[in-house]
């Protein structure tokens, strides 16, 4: 009977978090479409909007451990509701504020908090606690696929909204969708009734954090996730502008490219989740980072055409968020489930520091040098570093005594 209850609970949680991730990540992935219209309307350089997106990503990461800590202790539902309200406030702020410093700070705080409370870190704990051990990697893969579907779904929607009703009204429309769908869906989030493993039952938040920070494998995950954030947000935010600069002026190409990233990311995330239950996750992570480096290098070397863009988008999309189920799977397997959301938030903070630098450096170095060449080069070098950094990770669970400390 316990297994049936767990299975039904897992289904409910996966569907609910899937809808929330679809909205949260889908809306966020389209922010690159607003770069040019907002910059032109307000007379800003490209760096101003880039810095706003960069701060959003940085604060998303900074708020992540706190959101995870609250979700682990008080339940995911409350965190998601707070995040949805912050998300709506951020979208309205971006639609109305025209003073550069206020725009950067306000959108950074509101959107960053909204994402921290509605994206991977906040919901990873409840997914891990609901899923049996043998299905945990698969469940994380399903959640990653849901966020990927959001990107695939929302890219053309957001571009059509901007074209059809204007960039300001597009923000208003998305704020309404987030409010009307995300908050009601959170009512279905109920923590699983089964207890976490007894081995970490007495461990405090501070003890869990000190244990993780002192663990070499955890630090390697942190280093790899920094690179993941740098690569993904640079490409996602600057690809439309890069294509236009290179002579591919039709916005439809950029829309299709980002949609293809989202579409193939569905398959990549799900495949990574499936393989993570059968093969060493560290080797899969290294393969993903090395493969990204190869794909980006080939894209830059090949003649730039509409079809080369689509091939690049499909290939990089398959590798896009495939790191998420594997990284979360290693955290759950090594450190246990009691503080899963908090530790996932700590690792994700590194991801978002990388995101901050990726999106900001993209705009800064473009304004400074007139091209994205230097940032592409940094992206390639970081990919090689991350591939090497993940190889020595130890995936074995930590042995603890009854008080929750590592056994001597």
Q: Give per-residue pLDDT as tens, 162-192.
A: 999 999 999 999 999 999 999 998 888 866 4
Distance CA 394, CA 132 (A): 22
Residue 122 contacts residue 76 (beta carbons within 8 Å)? yes
Residue 201: pLDDT band (50, 70, 90) is low
Residue 236: pLDDT band (50, 70, 90) is confident
Percent of the chain at pLDDT above 90?
38
Q: Give per-residue pLDDT as tens, 115-160.
A: 999 987 788 878 878 888 878 888 888 887 877 787 778 878 898 8
pTM, two decimal places? 0.77
- Domains of the chain, each with CATH number or no CATH: 2-191+199-389 (1.20.1250.20)
Q: Give per-residue pLDDT as tens, 295-332.
A: 999 999 999 999 999 999 999 999 988 998 899 889 98
Mean pLDDT of 363-391: 91
Lowest mean pLDDT among 26-30, 88-92, 378-382: 26-30
Phi, psi of 45 (to 5 degrees): -75, 165
Q: Give per-residue pLDDT as tens, 275-289.
A: 988 899 999 999 999
Q: Is the pLDDT of residue 80 over 90?
A: yes
Lowest mean pLDDT among 146-160, 181-195, 341-355, 394-408: 394-408
Mean per-residue pLDDT of the chain: 85
Please report, in angstroms and rounded to a whole number, the separation of the first and last CA atoms in the chain: 37
Residue 400: pLDDT band (50, 70, 90) is low
Highest-scoring range by mean pLDDT, 192-201, 294-303, 358-367: 294-303
Q: Is the pLDDT of residue 199 over 50?
A: no
Phi, psi of 195 (to 5 degrees): -80, 160
Residue 34 contacts residue 161 (beta carbons within 8 Å)? no
Percent of the chain at pLDDT above 70?
92
Q: Is the pLDDT of residue 243 over 80?
A: yes
Distance CA 62, CA 109 (A): 10
């Amino acid at each position: 009977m316990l297994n049936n209850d767990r299975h039904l609970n897992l289904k409910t949680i996966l569907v609910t978090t899937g809808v929330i991730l679809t909205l949260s990540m889908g809306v966020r992935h389209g922010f690159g479409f607003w770069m040019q219209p907002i910059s032109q309307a307000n007379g800003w350089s490209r760096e101003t909007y880039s810095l706003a997106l960069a701060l959003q990503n940085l604060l998303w990461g900074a708020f992540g451990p706190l959101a995870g800590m609250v979700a682990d202790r008080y339940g995911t539902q409350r965190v998601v509701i707070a995040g949805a309200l912050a998300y709506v406030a951020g979208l309205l702020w971006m639609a109305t504020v025209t003073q550069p410093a206020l725009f950067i700070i306000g959108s950074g705080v509101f959107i960053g908090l909204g994402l921290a409370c509605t994206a991977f870190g906040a919901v990873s704990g409840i997914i891990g606690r609901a899923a049996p051990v043998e299905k945990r990697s698969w469940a994380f893969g399903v959640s990653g696929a849901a966020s990927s579907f959001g990107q695939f779904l929302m890219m053309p929607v957001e571009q059509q909204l901007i074209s059809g009703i204007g960039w300001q009204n597009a923000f208003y429309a998305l704020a309404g969708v987030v409010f009307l769908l995300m908050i009601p869906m959170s009512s279905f989030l109920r923590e699983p009734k089964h207890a976490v493993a007894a081995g970490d039952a007495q461990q405090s938040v501070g003890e869990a954090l000190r244990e993780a920070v002192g663990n070499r494998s955890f630090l390697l995950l942190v280093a790899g996730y920094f690179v993941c954030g740098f690569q993904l947000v640079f490409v996602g935010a600057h690809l439309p502008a890069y294509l236009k600069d290179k002579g591919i002026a039709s916005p439809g190409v950029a829309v299709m490219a980002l949609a293809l990233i989202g579409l193939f990311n569905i398959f990549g995330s799900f495949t990574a989740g499936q393989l993570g239950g059968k093969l060493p996750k560290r080797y899969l992570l290294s393969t993903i980072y090395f493969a990204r480096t190869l794909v980006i290098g080939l894209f830059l070397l090949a003649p730039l055409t509409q079809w080369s863009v689509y091939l690049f988008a499909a290939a990089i999309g398959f590798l896009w968020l495939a790191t998420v189920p594997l990284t979360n799977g290693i955290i759950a397997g090594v450190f246990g489930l009691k503080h899963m959301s908090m530790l996932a938030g700590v690792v994700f903070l590194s991801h978002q520091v990388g995101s901050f630098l990726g999106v900001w450096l993209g705009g800064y170095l473009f304004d400074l040098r007139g091209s994205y060449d230097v940032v592409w080069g940094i992206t390639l070098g970081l990919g090689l570093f991350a591939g090497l950094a993940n190889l020595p990770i130890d995936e074995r669970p930590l042995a603890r005594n009854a008080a929750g400390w590592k056994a001597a």
